[in-house]
Each structure stands twice: as C-alpha cells, then as structure tokens.
Structure 1
C-alpha cells in the first residue's frame, strides 16, 4: 500500500512539474497574443490582459485541484477547463493534443485519487487510447514517405522503405492494445519508454530543431508508463464509481479520435500529432525580410520561404493549428504588413520549391 502511494505521488509531482515546464516553454503562446499568428475563434477579440490572467488561472487550478480534497478539487478542475476554453477562444493555436492529454491526466488525479484501482484503470484507458489512435492516423502516404524516415535510424544495416513506415504505424497501435493485457504490460511499457526517448532526441532542438515543448510532454508520458510498470502486479481493473470520468475520457481520448478516422475532425483535437495528415503551410516572399532570415528555407536565393509551424514554435513555443482557414487568415496579415509577401503554399516544400522564381 505504501509503495503504491509513493509511486502515485511520483506521478502526481511529475505531472505538475511537466505542466509547469509546458507553461514556461509556451509562455508567449498561452499567455500572450502575437501580432501575426494569433487567430481568435469566432472572430472574438479578448483583451490580452484577460488572456494573461486566464492563463495563470488555467495553469494553477489543476495543480491545486490534485493537491486538495475531491470536493474542492472538482470545482478547481472545472475552472481550469473553463479558462483553457477562454484562452483557446482568444487563439485557436492554443488547442493542442498534449493539452487535452494533460487535462485527462489531471482529471484522473482530481476525481479518482481515492481509489488507486480505478485510478490505475483510468490511466491505462487514457495512455493506451493515445497510442492506438496516434498509430491509426499514421497509416497514410505522407507519414510513410516524409515523417517516418525522420524517426528511423539510417545507420542500421536495413535501409528504410515503405514497409518499415507501415510497420512503425502498426507497432504503435499494437503496443497500445497490448498495454491492456497483464502478461504483456511490463515489457510493452519498457518499449514505449524507449520510443519516447527516441522521439525526444529526434524532434528536439538537438536533432531536427523542433521545440523544447516536446520534452515535458514526452517526460510525463514516460512517467505514466513507469507508474503502470511499477503497479502492474499490484492493481486490478476497476471502474466502480468512476463511470462519469471514464465517459469523459472516452469522449476526448477514444470517441473523437476514432470518429476522425472516417470523418472530418479539426486537426488538434483528433490525436493526429506527427501523423503526416497535417497540412503544411509556407509563405514565400519576393524579397528577404530580416525579421525571419534565421528560418529562411532558401537563404542563398533572392526570395524567401518560411514555414509557419516553425515560426510559431520558435516565436511562441506552441504549434500552429494547421487548418486551411487559419493559414489564410495569417497570410492576409503578412500581406498587410510586408509588401514583399508573395504566396501561401499549402503543400510540402519539396513539391513547390521548383515553381519559385
């Protein structure tokens, strides 16, 4: 019993620390608006001071909720969700898969912490769903030909081909499913932890130059897997009084991502992160714009091309919500501010670069 409590506390404080690191890394995205990149939902303009205060409440409320009694914690958790909704209305780019997953984990701690068996079941339910639907979304040509090679170790004696890409997608789905079975759970958690270490290396600024926000997200996933590993032989599946929480988790972790396999669902609420289904957005300029030269995809040419996802990650610490309507709104702002703005490109760079002057 004592060991279970200690491991529970480890995961709880790991969640809090990773949540706070996310707030720090994404400060310019969650707490502040951006002149060019901020796109409000429903064209509702919210004062920046109100966004700042809402973001403070949003990041602090779930933390206090898990540290207090459930009777108080449930109201604080609700406050955190409401304020998150407010800052997302102020800017759609604040809607991200990892924030949905964070709130799911906070919900487990807030509502289910009194019964460690129900908590363990909810954690497994959440973590496995993330892997299963993330893997299912990867069965597409773009992931196989463009994204998967970034994660592959090309120094291996086996060369990368499309079969390897399909295998990577299939293995993620399989690993998520095998988490449900007691006999396979421990080795699967070890494999998944190694996978997250590879992701952290490949997508971090040390390799492909993405953003530090991938680090706390992968750390909390590894911490959750470590907890599952440690408690696998001690805890059993149980839903009991946690039915309403499981329904909520099923909606955001299973039903919406599952529905998105067949019908349109906005990118950032359907677990499509790194799936290859993301629509890339680039802006080309007829002349160099000094402000963006550090991210120019064609530094040796007279014109300039920038990747909007990279711009958002570098300047705000959060990604760009890759919907066409938001690309178009941001492009119109660039045209107003920079006379050399040329064209919006909604395809991979290698497909349009030869068409540029």
Structure 2
C-alpha cells in the first residue's frame, strides 16, 4: 500500500475508515445536486477537510477548486456576490495555469510529447511555438474580465479542454483519466459563470457591499500561488496544470524490501553506479493505487524519505530527486543520513 502522508495525525479515524469516508463524501456530494441544502454542503466540506489532513496525496487541484465553489454555496451571501467570486476564482486558475507553463520543461516534457502522441507531429526544431499555448491561456484568462471578450475566451478555453480530453482518450495515450470529469466540469463552470449578465454584478457590489474587503480577499487569493516559488504554498493549489515544473523522486534499493510489480521499477539508464539496484518509480506506484500523481513538493518528498528509511533500517535506500517532472535530465542523490533534500 502506498504510504499515507498525513498533515496531522487523526487517531480517532483509523486508516480503514478513510475508504468509507470517501464513499460517504461521494454520497453527500451527490445528494447536494438533488437537495441543495447548506447543511449537506457543510458536511461535505468537513469530510473533505478530514480527508486532506489525513493524506497530502489528496491535495489535488480539483479537490481544492471544488471545495472553493462548495464553500461559496455553503455560506449566506447574495447570488451576485457569489457569482463575482466564482469569476475571480476561474480567472485566477487560468491565469496561473498559463503563467506556470512559461518554461522549457513544459515545452520538452508536455508540449512535444503531446503533439507527437495526439497529432503525430514531430516538432523539435519548432518547439518555440509551444509557448503560444500558455500565452493563449493567459490572454483568455484576461479576456474573461471584459464583457466584449468573454465569448472568445470561453471558446478558447473550451477548445483547450476538449484537446486535453482528446489527449487522455485512448487515441492520445495519456493514462491520467481521472482528469476527464474535471475538464468537463471546468467547461460547465466557465459557461455558466461567463454567459450570465456581468453588467448587473458590479453596480450591486458597489451599492450593497464593502468593495474594499472583497477586493482585498480576491487580491490575496490571486497572490497565494506566487508563494509556491518559495515552497510556502502547495504545488497543486498554485494551479500547476501540466506546467512541466516541479521535481520527481524515486527510491533505490539494492535488495527490494517491498513486493511490487515489475512495472513499478525504472530502468537505471544513466545511473551506472546503481545498475544492480531496484529503482522504485513512486509516481507509477501512486498512479496504480490512487490514480493520482505525487505532488512535487519537497515537504512531501521528505515524508516519503523518512517513511522508507524507517521501513528498512538494515537496507538503507538511496533517493534520487530529478529536477523535472518525468525522471529526465539532472538529478541529485540522497541517503537516509542526509538531513535535507
């Protein structure tokens, strides 16, 4: 079983109950669709909080986004103000998602493989055009702010989501099928939020609400993803959507102490000093059991390091941390005796 990575220990909830908590949460979320009562939404939010503090592997972007929208439905605010916040959240998501893609890791590890797998195009000599994707996403986010450009932005962002859905289809070959419903939901959210009459929202805000308070909240929310650069805000809560940024970690054993399928292991490739060792691909393990990748956070890597070191004190593993998201390029090697990663 893939190790739990708790934020805080919750001894009153045994590990076995977490699976039942997940099913109960799904039931509660389904119930809110047919019976949109605030009490059901608050129960769902409490269950989500219990789940995410019990395991950081659940800190996926859709969990964060759905929780924000659920919270705004659960509190007593006017529908016009709620819509105002919804639009601000969506703008922030798409802006930072595009901004984080402005790097060569996105080009080399996301854009080029995507063009090859989906459209059978080999573009290593023209990879500079890949920067057009994040720029379009940023401009589409900016277009959501203005009534005259909202329709164009909606069409651009919808096209982007449909292409992503094509990528995770059997034709595209991407196995991360958990994001299929998420992309469909995002299309629905931008449709319902930006095809309503935006002109009625701003005047009502100015008349009935303290505009400075709400502006301050939105500014803080917009700036939070920038804290990721100094490791003070979670990777996925910063809206890294296939950005190519981040790191990956593997565990290296001379003698495996855990029975794992062969496809959980990496080839040694350029790791000549570990040719006779077993290199555990932690992301592949996580995908197989949890259907989610490991959030590329150093704090999470440290917890994994401590787990595997405590698991095998007589068979001390090594840890390889690649500086890219898919086990390529430069890397660093650590042992259990190293205090920092």
TM-score category, normalised to shorter length: 0.7 to 0.9
Q: Given the alignment of the two structures, is residue 218 of structure 1 paired with residue 183 of structure 2, yes or no?
A: yes
Question: Is the Cα contact below 8 Å between 2:100 and 2:245 reproduced in 1?
Answer: yes
Q: How far did residue 133 of structure 1 move? A: 1.1
Alignment match, 2:107: 144
Q: Distance in 2 between matches of 1:182 and 1:195?
A: 20
Are the aligned partners of 1:104 and 1:249 in contact in 2 as well (CA < 8 Å)? Answer: no
- Equivalent in the alignment of 1:273: 241
Cα shift readout 1:198-235 (whole Å, capped 9, x = no counterpart):
22232456534432211111110112233346x25686
Stretches of structure 2 that go unaligned for 5 or more consecutive residues are 270-274, 334-341
Question: Is the contact made by 1:295 and 1:306 (CA closer than 8 Å) also made in structure 2?
Answer: yes
CA apart distance, 1:95: 1.5
User: Which of 324, 328, 335 in structure 2 is aligned with 1:350?
Assistant: 328
Distance 1:243 1:218 in 2: 34
Alignment partner, residue 102 of structure 1: 66
Give the alignment's Cα RMSD to 1 decimal: 3.9
TM-score by length of 1: 0.72
Q: Is the 1:96–1:268 Cα contact (8 Å) retained in structure 2?
A: yes
Tell me whether 239-248 or 307-316 shows the greater mean CA deviation. 239-248
Counterpart in the other structure of 1:327:
301
Maintained 8 Å contact 1:143/1:276: yes
Mapped to 2, the partners of 1:350 and 1:52 lie a distance apart of 34
Corresponding position of 1:40? 6
3-state SS of paired residue (2:279): strand
**Aligned equivalents of 1:346, 1:225: Cα separation in 2:** 37
1:178: how far off?
Answer: 0.6
Find out whether 1:309 has 2:283 as its counterpart: yes
Superposition pairs for residues 182-197 of structure 1, below 5 Å? 182-197=147-162
Q: Could you say which residue in structure 1 is the equivalent of 2:84? A: 121
Moved more, 217-226 or 281-290: 281-290
Distance 2:70 2:135 in 1: 29
Change (3 A) 1:48 1:263: closer
Is the 8 Å Cα contact of residues 42 and 74 (structure 2) preserved in structure 1?
A: no
Please say if residues 312 and 319 of structure 1, whose CA atoms lie closer than 8 Å, have aligned partners that are also in contact. Answer: yes
> How many angstroms does 1:185 deviate by?
1.1
What's the secondary structure of 1:223's corresponding residue?
Answer: helix
Q: CA contact under 8 A between 2:143 and 2:153: conserved in structure 1?
A: yes
* Alignment match, 1:29: none
CA distance change for structure 1 residues 209 and 306 in 2, over 3 Å: closer, same or farther?
Answer: farther
1:326–1:123 Cα change, 3 Å: closer
Distance of aligned partners of 1:110 and 1:329 in 2 relative to their CA distance in 1, 3 Å threshold: closer
Alpha-carbon separation, structure 1, partners of 2:287 and 2:220: 25
Q: In the alignment, what sits opposite 1:297? A: 266
For residues 34 and 219 of structure 2, the distance between their equivalents in structure 1, rounded to whole angstroms, comes to 26
Query: Is the helix fraction higher in 1 or 2?
Result: 1
SS in 1 for 2:252: strand
Quick check: 89-98 or 267-276, which moved more? 267-276
3-state SS, counterpart of residue 227 of structure 1: helix
Rate the CA distance shift 1:248–1:269 in 2: closer, same or farther, 3 A.
Answer: farther
- 1:135-169 Cα distance to aligned partner (Å, 9 max, x none): 12223342233233233366459656453233322
Higher relative contact order (CA 8 A, sep 6+): 1
1:135–1:172: 8 Å Cα contact kept in structure 2?
yes
Q: Secondary structure at the match of 1:284?
A: strand
Distance 1:242 1:261 in 2: 34
Distance in structure 2 (CA, Å) of the matches to 1:305 and 1:80: 39
| Partners of 2:8 and 2:54 within 8 A in 1 | no
